[in-house]
Structure 1
Amino acid sequence: MITIYDTDAIEDIRSRNAVQPHRMKLFRNALFKNSGSWNDALAVLPEEARGDFEKSIIFQCLELAERHDSEVDGASKLIFKTHDGHLIESVVLRPKTGRTSICISSQVGCACYCSFCATGKMGFTRNLTMAEILDQVSQANRMVKPEGRTIRNVVFMGMGEPLLNTEQVLRSLDFMMDPKLFDLAGSRITVSTVGIPEAMELFTQTYPNVHLALSLHSADQEVRQRMMPQARVFPLERIRETLVAASAHGRVMIEYLMLAGVNDRDQDFQALTDYLKGLPVHINLIPYNEFSGSSLRGTPQPEREQFANRLKAAGFDVTLRYSMGSDIAAACGQLVQHKQKDASV
């Protein structure tokens, strides 16, 4: 299967049709910089070459199965179906800043089984391919184009653990940042991880300009491994060594989901400040988004604000985040394949 993201295979098709390089530049621009349709892209090619391109290349490798638009904050949840019948979810965010963002998935399901995340409850099916990762961005761009928008920020915080699909995620980053393709700046991309040390080290060395976000959520080893089973494999001490190395390339984002009575107590605050002391980090305090089957409860807003103020007083850069898309189950931790694979598809 040759997709529009298979640059080597497309080069072979270009060569056998003797299409001039400047025509291929227009072809790529139509697809990736101008968010054009397949017909827009074919129109810039010589007429005699269009038939071969059309029969040889798949324009969309994901099928948009459903779209849900928030009536509260302008978020859109996109449910895509893969060629083998699995459903994955992406979320387009339209914050008041005007910079349109997309939260994309890297796996079907997730093998990390974090207690606060609906995706973890569905288990792991398979990794997404580079093309499936990139197609989420392409289709979102075409969706928002009539609004006069373009996707300016890409966040790997959807379904799955990106650094357990390292090869395909890193290949997709190369494609996104290639000046001939999407041409996104590394500073516009964030990759979030529960903490896979060796993959974090490879990532920060290879892409020092791309943001790394660590889902920390507790600096107490016992508490963290109750919340995140992966913490048993990679303890906090090992992850801090990785953070020290990663911080040589720039500031690391620390994601801290606040749960009532779990990680918002005085001892949790002290453990967090001790753990991050001396590291150039930016802490994002995240509200918990409840989902069916979970007994966890989020820390109330006033207490989150108090926690944030204490961190600021301790010298940390802190952002108190708010949820978007919660009314359509599109907020952090709520993405889940609601419908099982239909074997008849």
Structure 2
Amino acid sequence: MLHWYDVNAWNARFGNDSQTVHSLRKFRTRWLKQGWSFEEALAEVSPDVASTIKAEIKPHPLVLAERHDSQLDGASKLLFRTDEGLMIESVILRAGTGRTSLCISSQVGCAAACRFCATGQMGIARNLTTAQILDQVVQANELLRKEDRRVRNIVFMGMGEPLHNPANLNEAIAVLSSPLLLDYSLQRLLVSTVGIPDEMLRLDEQFPQVNLALSLHSADESGRQELIPLAKSVPLARLRETLLKLKLSEKRRIMIEYLMLDGRTDRDSDAEKLIAFLENIPAHINLIPYNSIDGADHLTGSSQATRERFGNTLKAAGFPVTIRYSLGADIAAACGQLIQRENREIAKQLRATQTATK
């Protein structure tokens, strides 16, 4: 089977006569850029080419298992199932401006195991393939075509740590930005990481136009390590050093994701430490409300008044600040919330089967 995104393999397999090349280009444009279904796009090419495509290409390595549409705002949660039976999530966000964003996953589970994150509590971490990463975008665009929309911005902010899956992440970014394939501007892609210094610098070197977000959540060393176990191997000093090495500017700021937790990250002293940590670093700070999850009853989100006060302190220090509000609260839109328990059980079954066959 061919990967649909391997243009060189396509050319070698289908030939390069002008009629075939035109037919393939038309097919890819309809399917990948305009959101037609695979079958609809196939109907636009010659029968012999269509027959070969159907025999050689698996269009969707993920199965769309469930769709949950918020009754409160423009969020839709898409639950996909892999060949192993494990579940991943993507979220479509429809802003009031008419712009549509898609939050996609890069892994099943996550080794970062953040205390506040349902994905990190699954106890598994498996990389998604390049095709599985991309298929979230392809299937979302097929759904959105019925609304006369297309995904405008893509954020790697779903399940998993993208920089723990760098090879497939980089290939996916290359495909997303290829004019022959999905044709997204690199400036409309954002990769969120908990902070993997070497991989952050490599990604910045390879794709200097791609936006980066850092899930910081606390600028207090012990406080951050309590929330993010992985932070024990990456002290704040090294993280700051990494940010200073990135190709940042007033036009390309690092996005700082900061979770507002009552009595843990929202005190005046926390704001002072955050301001000091970001000194001389072009940054835009997102203040994130906390979505409660199973197994983290000890965490409580900050009040709206506290978030606004905290934000005003940061603004006074010269930082652009966005105070986020939960979208899709009625559909548990935070990644991992709907499938945390199911994936745990499936992973147990897979481990038991693997052990039994050894």
Q: Report the TM-score when normalising by structure 2.
A: 0.92
C-alpha deviation, 1:39, in angstroms: 2.3
C-alpha deviation, 1:92, in angstroms: 0.7
CA distance in 2, matches of 1:198, 1:15: 41
Alignment partner of 2:305 out of 302, 305, 325: 302
Alignment partner of 1:292 out of 294, 303, 316: 294
Letter in 1 for 2:86: H
Which residue does the alignment assign to 1:311? 314
Is the CA contact (8 Å cut-off) linking 1:3 and 1:61 kept in structure 2? no
Letter in 2 for 1:158: G
Q: CA RMSD in A?
A: 1.8
C-alpha deviation, 1:338, in angstroms: 3.9
Which residue does the alignment assign to 1:214? 214
Which residue does the alignment assign to 1:253? 255
Ranges in structure 1 where 5+ consecutive residues have no aligned partner: none
Which residue does the alignment assign to 1:282? 284
Which residue does the alignment assign to 2:88? 88
Which residue does the alignment assign to 2:356? none
C-alpha deviation, 1:173, in angstroms: 0.4
Q: SS where residue 246 of structure 2 aligns?
A: helix
Question: Map of 1:156-235 to 2, 5 A cutoff?
Answer: 156-235=156-235
C-alpha deviation, 1:125, in angstroms: 3.5
User: Residues 7 and 338 (structure 1 numbering): CA distance in 2 closer, same or farther, change over 3 Å?
Assistant: farther
Q: SS where residue 155 of structure 2 aligns?
A: strand
- 1:51 has 2:51 as partner: yes
C-alpha deviation, 1:88, in angstroms: 0.6
Letter in 1 for 2:275: T
CA distance in 2, matches of 1:91, 1:187: 20
CA distance in 2, matches of 1:158, 1:101: 12
Which deviates further from its counterpart, 324-333 or 299-308? Answer: 324-333
Which residue does the alignment assign to 1:68? 68
Q: Deviations over 1:187-231 (max 9, x none)?
A: 211100000000000111111111100001111111100010111
User: Residues 333 and 302 (structure 1 numbering): CA distance in 2 closer, same or farther, change over 3 Å?
Assistant: farther
C-alpha deviation, 1:86, in angstroms: 1.1
CA distance in 2, matches of 1:147, 1:209: 30
Letter in 2 for 1:51: S
Is the CA contact (8 Å cut-off) linking 2:2 and 2:9 kept in structure 1? yes
User: Residues 98 and 16 (structure 1 numbering): CA distance in 2 closer, same or farther, change over 3 Å?
Assistant: closer
Question: Map of 1:91-170 to 2, 5 A cutoff?
Answer: 91-170=91-170
Which residue does the alignment assign to 2:268? 266
How many residues in Structure 1 have an aligned counterpart in Structure 2?
Answer: 344
Is the CA contact (8 Å cut-off) linking 1:247 and 1:279 kept in structure 2? no
Is the CA contact (8 Å cut-off) linking 1:67 and 1:78 kept in structure 2? yes
Q: SS where residue 15 of structure 2 aligns?
A: helix
CA distance in 1, matches of 2:168, 2:267: 39
Is the CA contact (8 Å cut-off) linking 2:163 and 2:169 kept in structure 1? yes
Is the CA contact (8 Å cut-off) linking 1:156 and 1:191 kept in structure 2? yes
Q: SS where residue 147 of structure 1 aligns?
A: coil
C-alpha deviation, 1:4, in angstroms: 2.2
Letter in 2 for 1:316: F
C-alpha deviation, 1:248, in angstroms: 3.7
C-alpha deviation, 1:312, in angstroms: 0.5
CA distance in 1, matches of 2:31, 2:12: 18
Which deviates further from its counterpart, 114-123 or 331-340? Answer: 331-340
Letter in 1 for 2:76: S
Is the CA contact (8 Å cut-off) linking 2:215 and 2:258 kept in structure 1? yes
Which residue does the alignment assign to 1:320? 323
CA distance in 1, matches of 2:12, 2:176: 21
Identity %, equivalent residues:
50
C-alpha deviation, 1:16, in angstroms: 8.7
Ranges in structure 2 where 5+ consecutive residues have no aligned partner: 354-358
CA distance in 2, matches of 1:156, 1:50: 33
Question: Map of 1:4-19 to 2, 5 A cutoff?
Answer: 4-15=4-15
Q: Report the TM-score when normalising by structure 1.
A: 0.95
C-alpha deviation, 1:335, in angstroms: 6.0
CA distance in 1, matches of 2:209, 2:142: 26
Q: Deviations over 1:147-176 (max 9, x none)?
A: 111100101010000000000011000001
Is the CA contact (8 Å cut-off) linking 2:107 and 2:161 kept in structure 1? yes
CA distance in 1, matches of 2:112, 2:91: 21
CA distance in 2, matches of 1:263, 1:337: 25
User: Residues 252 and 201 (structure 1 numbering): CA distance in 2 closer, same or farther, change over 3 Å?
Assistant: same
Is the CA contact (8 Å cut-off) linking 1:13 and 1:53 kept in structure 2? no
